[in-house]
């Protein structure tokens, strides 16, 4: 992994490269950003360049050290992870893998670099144990904490680390990555790139996620036909959506967390919002250029013709209401039925 492999994150890359070039680096960093935002890639690019035998503007990727770093076999880049099945990174893990290990000099490189993934899951004891190392690190030690939420760190940790916040990547760059690296077709790339809202990892995951496609097609079909759907049919389709999710859960037993369910619901509601935003956009501009659901432009035109601005805004409001209801744990079927009824009312 080198900085050249990372799209976006211009400022962070500049800051980290300069730190390597000038030798004026900090001993502790926090890379903060949501899942999929590229924290690990950035940490690995930084670590690879730090350990490189001939770094210039980036790691050389040719030297012995770079080769070890790329294959994740560099003995002086240590990955600290939550033990499987445990909710926290406990004090034992921090002591064993960092605090007691850091006094041993690097094996064959300039630095000894610790990359702690999901560092927000360090409990208070673990953070306190780490604090001593961050306060008085050996010259060669660099600790990089990766987190989705840097506010979960103790103030004492925060104040001693350089905080780097991951930035959303522009949609055009994400589209390019999807088309060139993931061979995603044009239409799909547009859709997924907009949907991922600047998160490259999320975009790549969605592009290859068949259940996302299935849910998307189902939602689009409901958005198109809601005005003609009978009560019974609506309820059947809601059940079908639930089945898609259930099949996905069965295929992936290890992650049936509430966060995952929430993610699924948000995905679904986001799709409905995007569809009606397309209808609004077309209604206002009579132009297809910026609409996402280009494949369905015929239906978008037809709905834009039939629906009022008021009605379309009512639908977008109804989606927000559904989100709030689901967050308040109101029954899934009931909430979705109410939402589809609102779509039905406002699209006839
Ligand atoms: Zn190198």
- SS3 string, 42-65, reads HHHHHHHHHHCCCCCCCCCCCCHH
Ligand 1 centre and the CA of 140: distance in Å? 18
pLDDT given for residue 256 in this prediction: 53
In terms of domains, do 26 and 97 share one?
yes
Residue in 171, 167, 220, 168 with CA at minimum distance from that of residue 195: 171
Task: Give 96 Cα–ligand 1 centroid separation in angstroms.
Answer: 29
The CA 85 to ligand 1 mean position distance, Å, reads 36
CA of 73 relative to ligand 1 center, distance in Å:
14
Residues 133 and 231 in one domain: no
Residue 203 lies in a domain: no
Report the percentage of the chain scoring pLDDT > 90: 65
Final residue in a domain of this structure, among 165, 182, 198: 165
Residue 66 Cα to ligand 1 midpoint, Å, equals: 4
Q: Are residues 159 and 272 in the same domain?
A: no
Global confidence as pTM: 0.78
Assess whether 14 and 155 both reside in one domain: yes
Over residues 154-180, the mean pLDDT reads 94
Predicted pLDDT at 123: 92
- CATH number, domain at 59? 3.40.50.300
- We report the CATH number of the domain holding residue 259 as 1.20.272.10
Final residue before a domain boundary, out of 113, 132, 165: 165
How many domains does the chain contain in total?
Answer: 2
Ligand 1 center from residue 106 Cα (angstroms):
17
- C-beta separation of 251 from 214 below 8 A: no
226 CA → ligand 1 middle, Å: 58
Query: In percent, how much of the chain has pLDDT > 70?
Result: 95
The CA radius of gyration of the chain, in Å to the nearest whole number, is: 24
Examine the fold and report which residue of 137, 165, 193 is the final residue of a domain before the chain moves on.
Answer: 165
Separation of alpha carbons 191 and 306, rounded Å: 24
83 φψ region: left (φ > 0), alpha (ψ -120 to 50), beta (else): beta
- State whether 37 and 154 are in the same domain: yes
Axis-axis angle for helices 258-285, 210-225 (nearest 10): 50
Looking at the structure, tell me whether residues 229 and 88 fall in a common domain. Answer: no
State the average pLDDT over residues 79-99.
Answer: 91
List helix spans (H) across the chain: 10-22, 39-51, 64-70, 91-94, 124-135, 155-158, 171-181, 186-196, 200-207, 210-225, 231-251, 258-285, 297-306, 309-327, 332-347
Least confident among 263-267, 277-281, 289-293: 263-267
pLDDT of the residue at 251: 63
pLDDT in tens, 132-149: 999 999 999 999 999 999
Q: How far is the CA of 49 from the centre of ligand 1 (A)?
A: 7
Q: Check whether residue 127 and residue 221 sit in a common domain.
A: no
Residue 199 CA to ligand 1 centre (angstroms): 29
Q: Using CA atoms, how far apart are residues 238 and 45, in angstroms rounded to an integer?
A: 45
Give the SS3 label for residue 259: helix
Regarding whether 38 and 98 lie in a shared domain, the answer is yes
Q: Which has more confidence, 173 or 329?
A: 173
Tell me how far the alpha carbon of residue 178 lies from the centroid of ligand 1, in angstroms: 28
Tell me, yes or no, whether 63 lies in a domain: yes
In a domain, 142, yes or no: yes
Residue 28 reports pLDDT greater than 90? yes
Residues 92 and 238 in one domain: no
Residue 188 covered by a domain: no
Residues 6+ apart with CB under 8 A from 129: 91, 94, 95, 99
Q: Is residue 172 part of a domain?
A: no
Q: Which residue has the tokens 């997924």?
A: 192
* pLDDT for the residue numbered 87: 85
Range of the domain at 69: 3-165
d(CA 276, CA 197): 17
- pLDDT above 80 for 250: no
Same domain, 273 and 325: yes
Residue 276 belongs to some domain of the structure: yes
Residue 340 lies in a domain: yes
Average pLDDT (210-224) is: 86
Whether 32 contacts 9, CB under 8 Å: no
pLDDT-derived band at 117 (thresholds 50, 70, 90) equals: very high
Do 154 and 228 lie in one domain? The reply is no
Band of the pLDDT at 262, cuts 50, 70, 90? Answer: low
CA–centroid distance, residue 13 to ligand 1 (Å): 17
Q: In this predicted model, what pLDDT tens digit does every residue of 290-345 receive, in sequence order?
A: 888 888 999 999 999 999 999 999 999 999 999 999 888 888 888 888 999 999 99
Phi, psi (5° rounding) for residue 80? -105, 120
Reference 83, options 71, 95, 92; nearest CA is 92
Does 118 lie in the same domain as 59?
yes
Domain presence at residue 190: no
- How many whole angstroms from 70 Cα to the centroid of ligand 1? 10
Please tell me the distance between residue 64's alpha carbon and the centre of ligand 1 in angstroms.
7
């Amino acid at each position: 992994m080198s900085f050249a492999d990372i799209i976006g994150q211009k400022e962070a890359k500049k800051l980290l490269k300069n730190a390597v070039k000038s030798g004026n680096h900090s001993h502790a960093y926090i890379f903060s950003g949501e899942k999929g935002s590229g924290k690990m890639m950035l940490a690995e690019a930084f670590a690879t360049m730090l350990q490189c035998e001939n770094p210039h503007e980036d790691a050389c990727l040719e030297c012995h050290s770079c080769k070890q770093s790329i294959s994740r076999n560099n003995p002086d880049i240590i990955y600290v992870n939550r033990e499987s099945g445990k909710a926290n990174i406990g004090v034992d893990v921090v002591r064993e893998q960092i605090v007691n290990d850091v006094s041993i000099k690097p094996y064959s490189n300039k630095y000894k670099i610790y990359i702690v993934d999901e560092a927000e899951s360090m409990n208070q004891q673990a953070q306190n144990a780490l604090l001593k190392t961050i306060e008085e690190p050996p010259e060669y030690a660099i600790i990089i904490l990766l987190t989705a939420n840097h506010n979960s760190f103790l103030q004492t940790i925060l104040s001693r680390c350089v905080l780097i916040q991951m930035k959303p990547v522009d949609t055009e760059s994400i589209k390019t990555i999807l088309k060139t690296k993931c061979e995603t077709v044009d239409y799909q790339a547009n859709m997924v790139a907009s949907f991922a809202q600047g998160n490259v990892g999320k975009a790549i995951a969605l592009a290859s996620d068949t259940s996302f496609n299935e849910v998307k097609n189902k939602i689009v079909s409901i958005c198109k036909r809601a005005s003609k759907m009978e009560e019974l049919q609506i309820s059947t389709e809601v059940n079908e959506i639930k089945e898609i999710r259930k099949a996905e859960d069965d295929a992936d037993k290890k992650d049936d967390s509430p966060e995952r369910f929430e993610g699924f619901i948000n995905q679904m509601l986001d799709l409905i919002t995007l569809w009606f935003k397309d209808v609004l956009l077309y209604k206002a501009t009579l132009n297809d250029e910026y609409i996402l659901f280009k494949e369905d432009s015929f239906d978008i035109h037809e709905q834009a013709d039939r629906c009022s601005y008021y009605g379309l805004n009512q639908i977008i409001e109804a989606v927000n209401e559904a989100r709030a209801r689901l967050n308040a744990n109101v029954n899934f079927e009931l909430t979705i039925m109410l939402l589809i009824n609102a779509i039905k009312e406002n699209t006839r």
